[in-house]
Amino acid sequence: MDFLDIIARKKMGEALSEEEIDYFAKGAAGGNIPDYQLAALLMAIRIQGMNRKETAQLTLSMARSGDMADLSRIEGITTDKHSTGGVGDTTTLVLAPLVAACGVPVAKMSGRGLGHTGGTLDKLESIPGFQIDLGMERFIEQVRRIGCAVIGQSSNLAPADKALYALRDVTSTVDSIPLIAASIMSKKLASGSKAIVLDVKTGGGAIMQDLRQSIALAQTMVHIGNDAGRRVMAVVTDMAEPLGSHVGNGLEVREAIEVLAGKTRGPLLDISLELGAHMLRLGVGAADEKEARAKLLRALGNGAGLETFAKVIEAQGGDPRVCENTGLLPQAKIVREAFAPENGWICAMDTTRLGNIAQNMGAGRKAKDDPIDYSVGFVLRRRVGDKVAKGDPIATIYAKDSDSASAAIRGIARAVHISEEKAASGKLLHAVVTAGFVEEL
């Protein structure tokens, strides 16, 4: 097959055949096509787009370019959840044990953070001893026994995506809905779960900052999943400000434990219940959303969700005592407060900047192999819409040294915007997307 001809046809806006797309994915995974030709086709796709059939085929070809997990030995409908990335987004640590406690198995393969967004694996590894590399046999056995496991993705999971994403990152072709959708869904399909709930972020801290684009991305991924025979739906949620108040790996684990213990309420719990209810419904653990929410709240109230989280931690080599004593999590050397510089109302937050502050403190990576400091980050004491007086604490900083703490305080002062007029708090849920309709909320 002549790859130059494939590039030329897509450059002119023609639809590619299944065979051509499969050749493209296999060539990317195997290193048989030069990077410059792969990059040329990526740019042609970015400019000309792909139709629904092309996007679905690219996803399937990328998924089949490596290992395909077989979860058929797990009784029931295995569920998974994926977020397109955000700041303070700790929903997996809350909803996975809650859903499992309600009788629906959660078999989750997660990724690491890169850039201003956090990664679930980095958060879990802040728990002393926690192992994310279990191997497929232990992964399946744990889900069968406990109902939940969260592990790292296999090194041979969707290798075509690894190759293409590296090129997209350096060729300005990241912002393409077909390429984003295929990247995400190829890994989800290869991970093996039968039911998938997608959390598509929108707003200042999201990949897609425009609501219309976020909904279009959600629709594309839902169509791909349903065309592949999976139960898939999406919720478009807000990322104009951090979802949770805690930003930083160990701090986010602490907040998740406090939510599961019933000590903390707020947006993190609200979105976790929303996503978890859809997971229960898709996993046939509840007839409708009302019943699903009732079950989740019961598991929250009687401690079953926290107990399941402790079992997951122990099964994966971690210290389950953190669920009773979060002081066992990594502790920062320096703790300082950031104060409001003036009177007024918090009217907005630069979420990307806040994520970058945590990254610069050592909570995230600038390069793939950068080390992580699990103890650092910050806790926001106010949200958009809150009134503040000059000198009120707006954040608590957890840093490795005084210089890092001072830089974080300066950064938060620039990222948290205060106005003289009262500002309304933003809404958390923007839309629910299924195969049949889009419900804007």
How would residue 424 be classed by pLDDT, with cut points 50, 70 and 90? Answer: confident
* Topology, domain 331-419: Aldehyde Oxidoreductase; domain 3 (3.90.1170)
What does the pLDDT read at residue 93?
96
Answer yes or no: are the C-beta atoms of 399 and 336 closer than 8 Å: yes
64 carries an active-site annotation: no
What does the pLDDT read at residue 27?
96
Please write the tens of the pLDDT for every residue from 237-273: 999 999 999 999 999 999 999 999 999 999 999 999 9
CA-CA-CA-CA torsion sign (92, 95, 101, 106): negative
Query: Would you call 1 exposed, middle or buried from its count of C-beta atoms within 10 A (0-12, 13-18, 19+)?
Result: exposed
Token pair, residue 101, equals 């406690």
83 carries an active-site annotation: no
Alpha helices (H) along 83-206: 91-101, 120-124, 136-146, 159-170, 177-191
Average pLDDT of span 28-45: 96
What does the pLDDT read at residue 169?
77
161 carries an active-site annotation: yes
Q: Are strands 195-202 and 231-238 parallel, antiparallel or unpaired?
A: parallel
Which of 168, 231, 311, 430 is flagged as catalytic?
A: 168
What does the pLDDT read at residue 29?
94
Average pLDDT, the chain: 93
Which of 161, 227, 238, 350 is flagged as catalytic?
A: 161
Token pair, residue 269, equals 């719990």
How would residue 115 be classed by pLDDT, with cut points 50, 70 and 90? Answer: low
Which of 183, 186, 193, 272 is flagged as catalytic?
A: 183
What does the pLDDT read at residue 425?
78
Helix (H), strand (E), coil (C) string for 25-61: HHHHHHCCCCHHHHHHHHHHHHHHCCCHHHHHHHHHH
Please write the tens of the pLDDT for every residue from 138-166: 999 999 999 999 998 777 889 999 899 88
Higher pLDDT, 13 or 109: 13
Least confident of 1-15, 61-75, 298-312, 356-370: 356-370
What does the pLDDT read at residue 368?
63
pLDDT beyond 80 at 228: yes
Token pair, residue 368, equals 């793939």
How would residue 117 be classed by pLDDT, with cut points 50, 70 and 90? Answer: low
Answer yes or no: are the C-beta atoms of 44 and 10 closer than 8 Å: yes
pLDDT beyond 90 at 402: yes
Answer yes or no: are the C-beta atoms of 340 and 418 closer than 8 Å: yes
**Biggest alpha carbon distance in the chain?**
68
Residues 6+ apart with CB under 8 A from 112: 119, 121, 122, 152, 365
What does the pLDDT read at residue 90?
93
pLDDT beyond 90 at 175: no
Share of the chain above pLDDT 70, in %: 98
Higher pLDDT, 121 or 206: 121
CATH number of 79-324+430-440: 3.40.1030.10
Answer yes or no: are the C-beta atoms of 236 and 202 closer than 8 Å: yes
What does the pLDDT read at residue 367?
66
What does the pLDDT read at residue 162?
87
Does domain 3-49 fall into CATH 1.20.970.10?
yes
Rounded Cα distance, 301 and 295, in Å: 10
Looking at residue 114, the DSSP 8-state letter turns out to be: B
Least confident of 74-83, 179-188, 360-369, 400-409: 360-369
Which of 187, 194, 231, 281 is flagged as catalytic?
A: 187
How many C-beta atoms surround the C-beta of residue 150 within 10 A?
A: 24
How would residue 116 be classed by pLDDT, with cut points 50, 70 and 90? Answer: low
How many residues in the chain?
441
pLDDT beyond 80 at 118: no
Ordered by start, the domain boundaries in the chain are 3-49, 79-324+430-440, 331-419
